[in-house]
Structure 1
Amino acid sequence: MKEKAGYYIVKQDVLPEVFIKVVEAKRLLESEKVQTVQEAVELVGISRSSFYKYKDSVFPFFENSRGRTITISIQLEDQAGLLSHVLNVIASVGANILTIHQTIPVNKIANVTITMETNPMKDDIKELMDQLESIEGVLNVKIIARE
């Protein structure tokens, strides 16, 4: 049984400084102000190992997450109907899917990237992430971009 990820909202001033710097490095990379991770970490003053250790776990909180476009990355077991189930969950919360990209399964695991508009959503993004993570056959769900 896989462990369910928990999410917390924590004020920035109580976070370890490395978390803030990881978020800043990610922002630099996303905005293309720097081209490499090395450039980003040098600018913010952390090591590459710190960046890679926390990059998939630390995200800025957007108070107004509705009305945004988000891109999520999902790893799925290669099972008939699983992607359809994922899409039905997304539709059930009212998100508007803009793009879907699925790789050919390797070692019976497919990577799927979905970009969606969140403004029509009934629930918040955390609820959607929790619902997706609870689906049998979903191995990993991450938000990889927000606009």
Structure 2
Amino acid sequence: MDNKEYKKFYLIREDVLPESVNKTLEIKDALKKNPNLSIFEAVKQFNLSRSAFYKYRDTIFPVEEKQQSTKEFTLILYVNDVVGMLANVLNKVSEWRLSVLTIHQSIPMKNRATITLSLDATNTNLELDDVVELLKQIEHVTKVELISMTI
């Protein structure tokens, strides 16, 4: 389990962002305001390559856009196919006072499976990083990735 696979999040001032990231934010805003605007037209209008827009579009957002009163996130766990694995994970999640919003377990292939959990951490003092680290410690969990969150 490589800790470098988990991506940390940072708050950063707008004035130190590279021009391509700022333009990506402007394009996202323009697309939100005008649903008839295509990505091709928007990147042309703001003089940014489509590849740069696609590189940053899912990784940058204004904090106020994502602020919520709840702490919800979705994680994907890569696990060995062991009987009772899902039950074991859910027991741990319950011990940590996390609420399960959704669960999906893939069909095992080559003795491996994934468990996708959407969790609400409102009733716990644990932070996202804590939850990821605790899940990594469960036997037969080989990797944990964050796939979405609200803050």
CA gap 1:106/1:55 in 2 versus in 1, 3 angstroms:
farther
Q: Which amino acid aligns with 2:8?
A: Y
Match in the other structure for 1:70: 73
Determine which of 70, 83, 88 is the counterpart of 1:85: 88
Residues in 1 aligned to 2:92 and 2:30: alpha-carbon distance in whole angstroms: 32
Aligned pairs, number? 142
Check whether the contact 1:132–1:138 (CA below 8 A) recurs between aligned residues.
no
Q: Structure 1 residues 18, 98: CA separation in 2 closer, same or farther (over 3 Å shift)?
A: same
Query: Is the Cα–Cα contact under 8 Å of residues 56 and 142 in structure 1 kept in the other structure?
Result: no
User: What is the DSSP-based 3-state SS (H/G/I as helix, E as strand, rest coil) of the residue aligned with 2:87?
Assistant: helix
Does the 8 Å CA contact 1:66/1:121 hold for their aligned counterparts? no
Q: Is the aligned partner of 1:2 residue 2:6?
A: no
Q: Give SS of 1:126's match.
A: helix
Work out whether residues 73 and 144 of structure 1, in 8 Å CA contact, stay in contact via their aligned partners in 2.
no
For the pair 1:137 / 2:138, whether they are aligned, the reply is no
Amino acid at match of 2:12: K
Q: How many percent identity over aligned positions?
A: 27
Name structure 1 gaps, 5 residues minimum.
none
Q: Which has the larger radius of gyration?
A: 2
Root mean square deviation, CA, Å: 4.1
CA distance in 2, matches of 1:87, 1:59: 31
SS of equivalent to 1:9: coil
> 1:98: Cα distance to partner?
2.2
Q: Is the 8 A contact 2:30 2:42 kept in 1?
A: no
- Secondary structure of residue in 2 paired with 1:89: helix
TM-score by length of 2: 0.60
**2:10 partner amino acid:** I
In the alignment, structure 2 segments of 5+ residues that lack a partner are none
Change (3 A) 1:47 1:78: farther
- SS of the aligned residue for 2:10 comes to coil
Cα separation, 2, equivalents of 1:96 and 1:68: 10
